[in-house]
Amino acid sequence: MIDIKLLRETPDIVRDSLSKRFIQLDIDTIIDLDKQRREKIQIADELKKRKNDASKAIGRLKREGKDPGDLMEDMKDVSNRIKAIDTEVGDLTANIAELLAVIPNIPHETVPIGIKGEAHRLIREGGAKPEFTFEPVPSFELARRLGLIDFEAAARMSGAGFVIFRGVGARLARALINFMLDLHTREHGYTEVSPPLMVNRKSMTGTGQLPKLENDMYRCEQDDLFFIPTAEVPLVNIHREEILDGNILPISYVASSPCFRREAGSYGKETRGIVRIHQFDKVELVKFTLPGKSYDELERMLSDAEKVIRLLGIPYRIMELPAGEISFASAKTYDIEVWSPARARYLEVSSVSNCGDFQARRAEIRYKKDGEKGFVHTLNASGVALPRTIVAILENCQREDGTVSVPDVLLPYMGGIEVLQ
RNA sequence: GGAGAGGUGGCUGAGUGGAUGAAAGCGCUGGUCUUGAAAACCAGUGUACCUUUCCGGUACCGUGGGUUCGAAUCCCACCCUCUCCGCCA
């Protein structure tokens, strides 16, 4: 959530932000409602003061054995007026909150302007693209031939967009998860967390998935619980409605979890293979920082996620997203993309974002340090998503005989399996 | 799912209709003292909103309603925690 004061005092910053994101929203209505609300609060507060003073006087009179009858009679009317105004204020507050909740975060000043394509800024590249003496086979074909993934059985039991990793395929997924968790906990200082996979509405609102993305999530209607689309949601909500000691920041969490996404409306593209599926595993990184430190931490987080890909030896590149492409809650986002030789294109395996105080404001996550207080900054990064990383491993490490060599860093996790065959 | 108990500030914990935004203790911050530290003593120490030069005001005792001139305190609903029973990986 953006600060209502920003809207009140410098509405042009918000207008500018919306236009950079190519979003049209009526903010004048909010500004007007906010003005009305404050006026009514003032009136109500004055009446409440009268009421409080009178109540004290009545108490005093009664104790002295005098009759406060008239005063009590007068206060009945005041009380009713307060009730009426409070109802109006309540309605206005709810109305404003609702409108404010759909305003996206303000992009950081360094974020490039634009939308698709050329507006993406290349930050750096790594790893050499493999040079094949044969036509590279697409990952879904390799996975099928090697018996790593069963698409048909998954479709039968759950529908399109679900997959079963089986045998060495499941082993590879588990190896990747363990490798990443070990890397982030041992070398990058993250605390491992195993969070709930279903969370309530308030949590989803706190991180910014709601109210906008309700249709993109699986929901258990009976209990009004949502399946998490990313572990970012439970990780950030760990500290919801808390005041953190500024001296223990930054706090860094890592979790591996399945992610559930309805991907409504995306049928037709990317439906083949495991590039876009309804349930996938992802290792997620989340940090809580002091406001002044978040952009330093963003770079560190980017390199933490990048390390995973570098150690796996997969060719990749890092792109900075333009304002028109960054997500709702983000102020600045880098994508890490891995190379898919069979498709001759890059696939996003990680999004690394600084949300500034946007989520902290929604989720009421504050800090206090040396008498100074405020909202923390929150950051999140995939570190990284499994299926597309598996695609990249299969395709980049494939050999002419149809087998795939396992990256060295995964060998300790593969129980002696060096080649997928 | 059933029965019971309970949810008060950073923590422990008083408080059953008016002098309580909330006793007391602990913790924390500053000061005195000390070579320094500890102890002792003194002072301060919740969050948010409105107003704003200053001053000030309002709300908040799990959440939301209600009763009342007045609610932490009474009533209703819901949420959460604990104990026992049932069920269960």
- Give the alpha-carbon dihedral of A179, A181, A187, A193, to 10 degrees: -170
Residue listed under structure tokens 């102020």: A331
String of DSSP letters for A51-106:
HHHHHHHHHHHHHTT---HHHHHHHHHHHHHHHHHHHHHHHHHHHHHHHHTTSPPP
A246 CA from B42 C1′ (Å): 29
Structure-block tokens of residue A407: 């990256």
A95 touches strand B (CB under 7 A): no
Q: Is A117-420 the same fold as A4-100?
A: no
CA-to-C1' span, A349 to B60 (A) = 45
* CA A41 to C1' B52, whole Å: 16
The secondary structure of A331-373 as a DSSP string is SEEEEEEEEETTTTEEEEEEEEEE-TTHHHHHHTEEEEETTEE
CB distance A420 to A172 below 8 Å: yes
Could you tell me the residue ranges of all domains in chain A? 4-100, 117-420
Q: How far is the CA of A297 from the C1' of B50 (A)?
A: 36
Q: With a 7 Å cutoff on the CB, does A296 touch strand B?
A: no
The reply to whether the CB atom of residue A108 sits less than 7 A from any atom in nucleic acid chain B is no
Protein chain A, residues 67-86, with a C-beta closer than 7 Å to any atom of nucleic acid strand B: 72, 75-76, 78-79, 83
Provide the pLDDT for residue A211.
87
Q: Can you give the three-state secondary structure of A160-199, one letter per residue?
A: CCCCEECCHHHHHHHHHHHHHHHHHHHHCCCEECCCCCEE
Is the omega angle on the peptide bond into residue A168 within 30 degrees of 0, that is, cis? Answer: no
Number of CB atoms found within 10 A of residue A117's CB: 8
CA of A302 to C1' of B13 (A): 47
* Residue A138 DSSP SS3: coil
Q: Determine which helix (DSSP H) or strand (DSSP E) holds A283, and give its type and residue range.
A: strand A279-289
pLDDT value of position A274: 86
A221: helix, strand or coil: coil
For the A4-100 domain, the top CATH level (class) is: mainly alpha
Q: What is the ipTM of this complex?
A: 0.87
CB A38 within 8 A of CB A85: no
CATH architecture of the domain with residue range A117-420: 2-Layer Sandwich (3.30)
Taking only the tens of pLDDT, chain A with its 421 residues reads 899 999 999 999 999 999 999 999 999 999 999 999 999 999 999 999 999 999 888 888 888 878 777 888 888 889 999 999 999 999 999 999 999 999 999 999 999 999 877 789 999 999 999 999 999 999 999 999 999 999 999 999 999 899 999 999 999 999 999 999 999 999 999 999 999 999 999 999 999 999 888 889 998 888 888 999 999 999 999 988 888 888 888 999 999 999 999 987 665 555 678 888 999 999 999 999 999 999 999 999 999 999 999 999 999 999 999 999 999 999 999 999 999 999 999 999 999 999 999 999 999 888 888 777 888 999 999 999 999 999 999 999 999 999 999 999 999 999 989 999 9
Minimum-distance nucleotide, CA of A42 to C1': B50
- Please name which of A302, A352, A353 lies closest in space to residue A331, comparing C-alpha atoms: A353
| A245/B36 CA-to-C1' distance in Å | 29
